[in-house]
Structure 1
């Protein structure tokens, strides 16, 4: 009996040792798995950053895209300053009693009809990058002439119609500028192209324009001169977009996406919920 009990104790001790060893091994494997997941996460971040850098390099080397965004920045510089300083300039130059309402009304009406007109005109001309640049340059140049002439008038009744026509023409740029942004890059680059365009026109356009125009006004102390200097930047925008007409451009809107995943790769992808794909197919009732 004593021998049997000693044997039983010995077996239980061996079993306990095996259990402890198994737990220890599982702990080591869990730590290794955690380290592996951390390294995979760091590698994934580096991979995404590398892809972002490569995409940014592609955008910055695309002359059509860069010219389009540069013109858009100059254009937005003026529009941003108009929206901030326009009512104050109108009040000081023409002694408007309701300058905010007048400028706001002109901007809303001309913005709606100008944007729609720009899209319709581009469709009528034939949607292409070259025609879009022609429209951008033409309407911006004409709009700059009307807005510049409006601030030259000393009468409010001469200012309002000229400035309204100028804003109508200037807002016609919205459709063609976005057309170029979407059609000059590959489909996989469109989200980044639009995002960088939006960020650029704000960081370099309407955000610094208001304080810079304020500094200019403090220096010249004449709202008419300040408004004329600001409006003249629209001629620069028109000139930049004019360059785009002569650039070699390729419409990549319908170009195949090189990063598209093939059907074979999709078939070999691991399910999101884990497990073996074949096991899930063989045993659909298991959940």
Structure 2
């Protein structure tokens, strides 16, 4: 089948023989045996030219499809069986990276001794193709970029205040009570507000905050200082709840969970080091107190 496809593609037995590293006579014998086996003439030969019959053209198109699928299957198996090695370039957000991705990288380096990692944590949208990154970890809704992505899970949020703060100001019992509290809000595109969801109910909190910050880590630090109520990722806040430092506020209300994806160039021909790292991210995701897929 491969020989016949080469003859049709190159237009002659001689050219096909050169492509396949053999001789013209062997190519001719193989095609003749194919015709005998199939009981049909695939090629019309003359001293001047070689042409493909109608049956031969149909066989050629099917053969190319089969050969392409076989090569893809072999490549996929070869890639999956290769040991991860080489440089893995990763990018993630400047906050999510140090808080979560660092742990994933550490775990990956322990199980992939032949891999080295180069990581950039930034809040800009990195063009992973043109900037040479293998994988990006992105929090939030993905733009339609033509890249491949695998959902790792979701970041779930909640409202929290310090135990000291709640001793001075009674905990709110309704969303409307938040207007009478000191709020610490993370700004989004210069706007400080919350869109809180409870099942099918939605409440927008747009009162001026006591403090507006552009960092979730800063919001956490100010909450720990007893300066107000903040909306934090649960994986960030829950350890302090366990220690008795923070307390959940209006636990049924929070922002919509934010999806987390690993983004990479192609899911069809993934480098073993990329595939292995993404698989590890999926397996470790829920270990950080987040919701897996």
**TM-score relative to the length of structure 1:** 0.26
Larger helix proportion of the pair? 1
Q: Hey, which of these two has a bigger chunk of strand by percent?
A: 2
Task: Compare relative contact order (CA 8 Å, sep 6+) and give the higher one, 1 or 2.
Answer: 1
The TM-score, its normalising length taken from structure 2, stands at 0.26
